[in-house]
């Protein structure tokens, strides 16, 4: 049972480039979410999904897109990377009482 | 509004007890959680407590919940160097899948 997987683990982008962070879960959870973690700021919610075909914005959605075509996958797309998006990104999958996190993607935008 | 607050740093000596504190503002939380994050890793669920409980014990971990003061604490008995990590407090909001996280407390255990 892999739980929540994320790829890549590390990524360096130049300003203006686009990329997709992948997230998959094998627990058949309906609810999935993306967070970013910055020093001294805890985790901030970017986007979330309550099921296939349904997504919504979190606290800091600007500059990011998501889609949810299947229950298992929830990719996060950076449209035009900016240095302010340098962060560690975590995907999470939620059961009725617990949120499970992936190992994270460390992104640097130059 | 919804907010979860923690102190940023805590330093203890190996073998002592550690107490990490958290305050929250939303009284409609269903569960309250403690997560541990080791360097370069994701968040690992340590323990959680249902909002109608006062205390939960799990081996070296004791969680205390004071609903009146909206205060949650995590006590780690016989703290070891392997306990050095960032500890996040979080609450889930009743009726939603929404979680609110604190800023995290960095625990440093001195040998």
Whether residue A39 has pLDDT greater than 70: yes
Structure confidence at residue A41 (pLDDT)? 79
Q: Are A100 and A33 in contact (CB under 8 A)?
A: no
pLDDT digits (tens, 9 = 90+) for B31-78: 899 999 998 888 999 999 988 888 999 999 999 999 889 999 999 999
What phi-psi label fits residue B27: left (phi over 0), alpha (psi between -120 and 50 degrees) or beta? alpha
Give B46's contacts (C-beta < 8 A, 6+ positions apart).
B33, B34, B35, B36, B61, B74, B87
> CB-based burial of residue A52 (10 Å sphere; 0-12 exposed, 13-18 middle, 19+ buried)?
middle
Q: Which of B43, B51, B92 to mutate to test the interface with A (most CBs of A within 10 A)?
A: B43
pLDDT-derived band at B92 (thresholds 50, 70, 90) equals: confident
What residues of chain B lie within 8 A of the CB of A35, using their CB?
101
CA dihedral A71, A5, A46, B94 (to 10 degrees): 60
Task: Measure the CA angle with vertex B10, ends B83 and A42; round to 5°.
Answer: 85
Sheet containing A4-7: order of strands: A4-7, A19-25, A76-78, A64-66
pLDDT of the residue at B99: 86
Q: What are phi and psi of B11, to 5 degrees?
A: -125, 130
Query: What average pLDDT does chain B have?
Result: 91
Asked whether A30 and A51 are in contact (CB, 8 A), the reply is yes
pLDDT at B28: 76
Average pLDDT across chain A, whole number? 94
Average pLDDT over residues A82-91: 97
pLDDT number for residue B106: 95
pLDDT of residue B34: 96
Residue B24 and residue B4 in contact, taking contact as beta carbons nearer than 8 Å: yes
Neighbours of B18 (CB within 10 A): 21
pLDDT at res. B9 = 94
Q: Tell me: the pLDDT tens digits for A49-68? A: 999 999 999 989 999 999 99
- How much is the pLDDT for A2? 73
- From the CA of B17, how many Å to the nearest CA of chain A? 24
Subunit contact B8:A40, Cβ cutoff 8 A: yes
- Least CB–CB distance from B102: residue in A42, A50, A104: A42
- Residues B72, B100: Cα–Cα separation, whole Å: 14
Interface of chain B toward chain A, CB-CB under 8 angstroms: 4, 8, 30-31, 33, 35, 41-45, 48, 88, 90, 92, 97-99, 101-104
What Rg, from alpha-carbon coordinates, does chain A have? 13
pLDDT at A1 over 70: no
Q: Is A97–B92 a contact, with Cβ atoms under 8 angstroms apart?
A: yes
pLDDT band per the 50, 70, 90 thresholds, residue A84: very high
């Amino acid at each position: 049972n892999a739980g929540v997987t994320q790829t890549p683990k590390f990524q360096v982008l130049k300003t203006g480039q686009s990329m997709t962070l992948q997230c998959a879960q094998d627990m058949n959870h309906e609810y999935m979410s993306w967070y970013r973690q910055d020093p001294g700021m805890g985790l901030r919610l970017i986007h979330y999904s309550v099921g296939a075909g349904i997504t919504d914005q979190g606290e800091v959605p600007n500059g990011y897109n998501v889609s949810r075509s299947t229950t298992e996958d929830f990719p996060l797309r950076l449209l035009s990377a900016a240095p302010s998006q340098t962060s560690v990104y975590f995907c999470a999958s939620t059961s009725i009482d617990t949120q499970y996190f992936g190992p994270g993607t460390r992104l640097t935008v130059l | 509004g919804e907010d979860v607050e923690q102190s940023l740093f805590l330093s203890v000596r190996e073998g002592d007890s550690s107490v990490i504190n958290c305050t929250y503002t939303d009284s409609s939380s269903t569960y309250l959680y403690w997560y541990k994050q080791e360097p370069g890793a994701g968040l690992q669920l340590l323990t959680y407590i249902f909002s109608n409980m006062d205390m939960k014990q799990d081996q070296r971990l004791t969680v205390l919940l004071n609903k009146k003061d909206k205060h949650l604490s995590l006590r780690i008995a016989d703290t070891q160097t392997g306990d050095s990590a960032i500890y996040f407090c979080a609450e889930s909001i009743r009726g939603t899948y929404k979680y609110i996280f604190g800023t995290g407390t960095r625990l440093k255990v001195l040998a």
